[in-house]
Amino acid sequence: MRKDNFFIEYAATLENSWVETDKLKQDILYFFVKRCIDILFAITGLFITSPIILIFAILIKIESKGPAFFFQERVGYQGKYFNVIKLRSMTLDAEKNGAQWAQQNDPRVTKIGAFIRKTRIDELPQLINIIVGDMSVVGPRPERPIFTAQFNQEIPGFIERLTVKPGLTGWAQINGGYDLTPEQKLKLDDYYIKNYCLSLDIKIILKTVLICFSGDGAR
């Protein structure tokens, strides 16, 4: 996994970060237990949802040209780059005019894409990212390099989201999701980074499940 100027800046600013490094060192047991839960959750989840992923992969191929799966570079823990895996929810030429931040009611989203985004089905392949260790079940959503750089210039401290492993879901995702501005997302991620614990992780997971079943995933 490569690193870029993001890690350099992250390392340089960590001493002034709102995250206490001593706290991170003291929480080794938490991170160990969380990793065990991540692996168990991801393997079980992938086994259960594989038929769902396959069905929607076929529907995506039927509806529009292009691959069913979408790979996109993101910035993860301590500035490491990795490719996030998703079911494709947008048209193949979604970024013909350059990188764009996803938004609610995005016109680039296909009909099948709108459904899988609302129910979060498009995120299910990221269970593979969790198994290999790029992501956790719960944490700040990983952002693209270009937007990480942009938001960090506009919102000082945005890069400090990289002090914890990115997640499949997070505190920001169950409290607004696509409706939130980068500033609002950062505040919610800040709350999670300051208060992470197993009980909060479980709360986020349960709320995410409710959102999926209620079809309110676009939030």
Q: Examine residue 58 and state whether it is found in any structural domain, yes or no.
A: yes
Which tens digit of pLDDT belongs to each residue from 151-201?
Answer: 888 888 888 888 899 999 999 988 876 677 888 888 999 999 989 999 999
Is 219 among the domain residues?
A: no
- Report the C-alpha gap between 140 and 101 in whole angstroms: 16
Task: Classify strands 167-169 and 136-138 as parallel, antiparallel or unpaired.
Answer: parallel
Q: At what angle do helices 198-214 and 28-63 cross, to 10 degrees?
A: 20
> Is it the case that residue 69 has pLDDT exceeding 60?
yes
Number of domains in the chain: 1
pLDDT of residue 212: 76
**Can you tell me whether residue 136 is helix, strand or coil?**
strand
pLDDT band at 101 (very low <50, low <70, confident <90, very high): low
Distances (CA, A) of 203 to 164, 174, 210: 18, 10, 11
Range of the domain at 146: 5-214
Any domain includes 173:
yes
- The reply to whether 125 falls in a domain is yes
Residue 103 has pLDDT above 50, yes or no: yes
Q: Using a pLDDT cut of 90, give the percent of the chain over it.
A: 43
- Return the biggest CA–CA distance within the chain: 52
**Residue scoring higher pLDDT (4 or 34):** 34
**Does residue 25 have a pLDDT over 80?**
no
Judged by average pLDDT, the poorest of 21-30, 67-76, 115-124 is 21-30
Strands 81-87 and 69-75, how do they pair?
antiparallel
Is the whole model's pTM more than 0.75, yes or no? Answer: yes
192 part of a folded domain = yes
Determine, yes or no, domain membership for 159: yes
Note whether residue 21 is domain-resident: yes
- pLDDT reported for residue 218: 42
| CA-to-CA separations, 66 to 9, 151, 152, in angstroms, rounded | 37, 30, 33
Distance in angstroms (rounded) separating the CA atoms of residues 63 and 69: 14
End-to-end CA distance of the chain: 31
Are the C-beta atoms of residues 117 and 35 closer than 8 Å to each other? no
